[in-house]
Amino acid sequence: MDTLSAEQAARLLHVNVKRVQRLARTGQLPGRRVGRRWLFPRAELEALLGRAHGREAKPATAGRIEISARNQLRARVISVLAEGLMAEVRLAIGDQELTSVITRRSAERLDLRAGDTVYAVIKSTEVMIGKERETA
């Protein structure tokens, strides 16, 4: 039986290690404690994710992101620069460039790489416009 550590299970499930351990303690995830370590059966975790034979099953809404924000812009990743806790992600949207600063953990969880197609989701309550006045 192929087993995963708590860290490996967290990467597979895209959640924090502490959350994986908490879900296992409450019986919501199939896992066994061996000494001080948690071990998780890979096949059972993949079954929970809807994977068949190591390949992801296509969800009913494959290729779509369901989110309440209306401002979703399809973009191409130009570069990802991760330093310390933060990551700078440069995106190309048409002939425009947008820079987003996100946590390094989020960039790693999304496995962002140059050339990837992503969505920039912009949620803002106001947009301000400024214009220089001509002096007479």
**What pLDDT score was predicted for residue 133?**
78
> Which tokens belong to 23?
């879900």
Fold classification of 3-56 is Multidrug-efflux Transporter Regulator; Chain: A; Domain 2 (1.10.1660)
Q: Where in the chain is the domain with CATH 2.40.50.100?
A: 71-122
Fold classification of 71-122 is OB fold (Dihydrolipoamide Acetyltransferase, E2P) (2.40.50)
Q: Where in the chain is the domain with CATH 1.10.1660?
A: 3-56
pLDDT per position as a tens digit, 32-81: 888 889 999 888 888 877 754 444 444 444 555 566 666 778 889 999 99
Q: Strand ranges (DSSP E) for 17-136?
A: 32-34, 37-41, 51-52, 55-56, 71-83, 86-93, 96-103, 117-122
Residue listed under structure tokens 């896992």: 31
> Which of helix, strand or coil describes residue 123?
coil
**What one-letter code names the amino acid at 111?**
D
pLDDT per position as a tens digit, 99-124: 999 999 999 989 999 999 998 888 77
pLDDT per position as a tens digit, 85-103: 999 999 998 889 989 999 9
Q: What is the pTM of this model?
A: 0.47
- Distance from the Cα of residue 32 to its chain's centroid: 27
List Cα–Cα distances, 84 to 37, 81, 100, 112, 126, in angstroms.
28, 10, 16, 16, 30
